[in-house]
Structure 1
Amino acid sequence: MNANAFRHYPYFGYSPFINPYHYSGLNTAHPYVYLNSIRSGSYPYKVPTQMYPYTIPTETYPYIAPTEMNPYFVQREYDPITGTYEDVRVIAGILAVAGAAGQVAGAINAVSGALGTINAPRSVILTITNHTNTTLRKVREKLDHGGWAATPTAEIPPGQTLVFGATSSAWSIATGTEGRITYAGEGIEMTAYWNNPFIGNNSCNITVTGPNANQYNGTRVCGAGNTNAQMRYELTRIPATRISLESVNYPNRFIRHQNYLGELTPIQSELDRRDATFDWTGDWRYGAEGQLRSINFPTHYLRHQNFRLKLHTIYDAPDWNLRYLDSTFTMVPGLADPTNPELVSFRSKNFPDRFIRHRNFNLWVESVNDDLGRKDATFRRRGPFIQ
């Protein structure tokens, strides 16, 4: 209920000739007087005399604002069977540092306390741990049965655990709590599902979808019990292969980004070393698809635009699907010497007749038709300049 409202007393439905506290605007659907319709002043509030000539005794709504000392706020649930109301204490979901057992345990205890104030036969404590280096942002939520006891946050930062909770409806009969929530990250969507039914076993699941789904791993543990069943979800990124790539025909020059363009330069400074170190996101094997992600701009990838290699973000752009294709390459044996296992070339996903190559020490995605082109498109994997 709106915290800026209070209930008219006595209730509603009586003629002013029978009850002088009658207000004709009150009815079953709207049994409250709102404060913005009443003059300011000390309790009890006075109704403007031109509208209502009586002083109305009021019963203030017991809203509790969330504070650091008292994280609860109150929402009132109406039971149509008994005709009474029950105060339900709800808290915001709590973020804790992943791996900090004390913080996570404290958050779980707080959510458990919120669940304990609700007269619900079924409840779950939900934890989502973000083990990745990207912020997860909530994009969808759906409660098939029940409601929140601790509301999920809009974001889960890297290295954080979100603890929140859901219950069956306080006055429900033979229903449980079931729902799902989806967070989006760098080219993925992670959906956590739970079901604590009134009859039957608990269940939960986690799914990871999107163009980068093969770079992530989702795990879940489904808790048992009718109340405070703990459902745990974890999202981790599959380790990438960190590399630096040296030109086969200019062995003192490496692939690097410079002013957000792909270049082939000597490596001398600390900045050069960072610019020339990448994470290959796919398997390190011939035939595998992947992307070259910058380590000092970890949301940026090498992609071709008008066939020039550039360093761009991918997944936060309206044309992310095109950018994803432009930044995806297939690792193949080095064109200059396919028998040498140390050599690699990178074939464009959306232009499979073109390869990453250097020309005038700039990096392009071009067709390769001669011996010079094959050498320009072949690179030797080196240990990364930056671990």
Structure 2
Amino acid sequence: MAVLKLSLFSNNFPDFFIIDHNGLVDIAKMETDDDRRNATFQWTGSSLNFGQKGMLVRAVAPPGFCLHIATFDNFRIHSKFFTGITDPQVKARVIEESTYILQAAEIDPNQASFRSVKFPDRFIRHRGFELFAEPVATPDELQSACFRIAQPLHPAEF
């Protein structure tokens, strides 16, 4: 199976990419090589076709971090080290809370939205340049849950 590396930029803020900022996930402009590294992910689904389930995992060191819905932090998206979890029940829960369905964005069906598997009424979206998993209904909310898939901003190391 091919490894699908990508970067994702905001549909309504095209200069802003999803980025892991030391454990919290935001959208931001890419200004440094470290920014480009932290905005490069691997999609674990079998393809980038709509309807596929997968996780968004860091594609550069340090490995083993995924975009996780932190229910304890108002459904904020955190970067979570999941590969080192030894308790199988905890690991299964974290994976479930970090798995999304790639689907056509309602506001722009040529672009992508990521709907939570665990919380099917919630989509990854940005609010105040921070990422959350939230329900979306209004045009502004739908726009903030729409992302464009781009080539990886940094060559992956592993």
What is the TM-score when the length of structure 2 is the normalising length?
0.90
Query: Which of residues 87, 91, 106 is equivalent to 1:320?
Result: 91
Query: Which of residues 281, 302, 305 is equivalent to 2:67?
Result: 302
Alpha-carbon distance between aligned partners in 1 of 2:153 and 2:122, rounded to the nearest angstrom: 28
Alpha-carbon distance between aligned partners in 2 of 1:352 and 1:361, rounded to the nearest angstrom: 22
Residues 178-327 of structure 1 correspond to what in structure 2 (within 5 A)? 238-282=1-45, 283-296=47-60, 297-306=62-71, 307-317=75-85, 318=87, 319-327=90-98
Residues 70-149 of structure 1 correspond to what in structure 2 (within 5 A)? none
Task: With a CA cutoff of 8 Å and minimum separation of 6, indicate the structure with the bigger relative contact order.
Answer: 2
Q: Which has the larger radius of gyration?
A: 1
Structure 1, residues 22-47: CA drift from partner, whole Å, max 9, x if none? xxxxxxxxxxxxxxxxxxxxxxxxxx
Query: What letter is aligned with 1:241?
Result: L
Query: What letter is aligned with 1:243?
Result: L
- CA deviation after TM superposition for structure 1 residue 316, in Å: 2.7
Alpha-carbon distance between aligned partners in 1 of 2:5 and 2:106, rounded to the nearest angstrom: 22
Q: Tell me the residue number matched to 1:350.
A: 118
Q: Mind listing any 5+ residue stretches in structure 1 that lack a counterpart?
A: 1-237
Q: Tell me the residue number matched to 1:374.
A: 142
Alpha-carbon distance between aligned partners in 1 of 2:130 and 2:30, rounded to the nearest angstrom: 15
- CA deviation after TM superposition for structure 1 residue 259, in Å: 1.5
Tell whether the 8 Å contact from 2:65 to 2:83 is kept in structure 1 after alignment.
no
Identity of aligned residues (%): 35
Q: Mind listing any 5+ residue stretches in structure 2 that lack a counterpart?
A: none
What is the total number of aligned residue pairs between the two structures? Answer: 147
- CA deviation after TM superposition for structure 1 residue 334, in Å: 1.5
Structure 1, residues 237-294: CA drift from partner, whole Å, max 9, x if none? x322111101000111000100211110000100000000101110211000011110
- CA deviation after TM superposition for structure 1 residue 367, in Å: 0.3
Structure 1, residues 111-132: CA drift from partner, whole Å, max 9, x if none? xxxxxxxxxxxxxxxxxxxxxx
Structure 1 residue matching 2:35: 3-state secondary structure: helix
Q: CA RMSD in A?
A: 1.0
Q: Where does structure 1 differ by over 6 angstroms across 4 or more consecutive aligned residues?
A: none
- CA deviation after TM superposition for structure 1 residue 337, in Å: 1.3
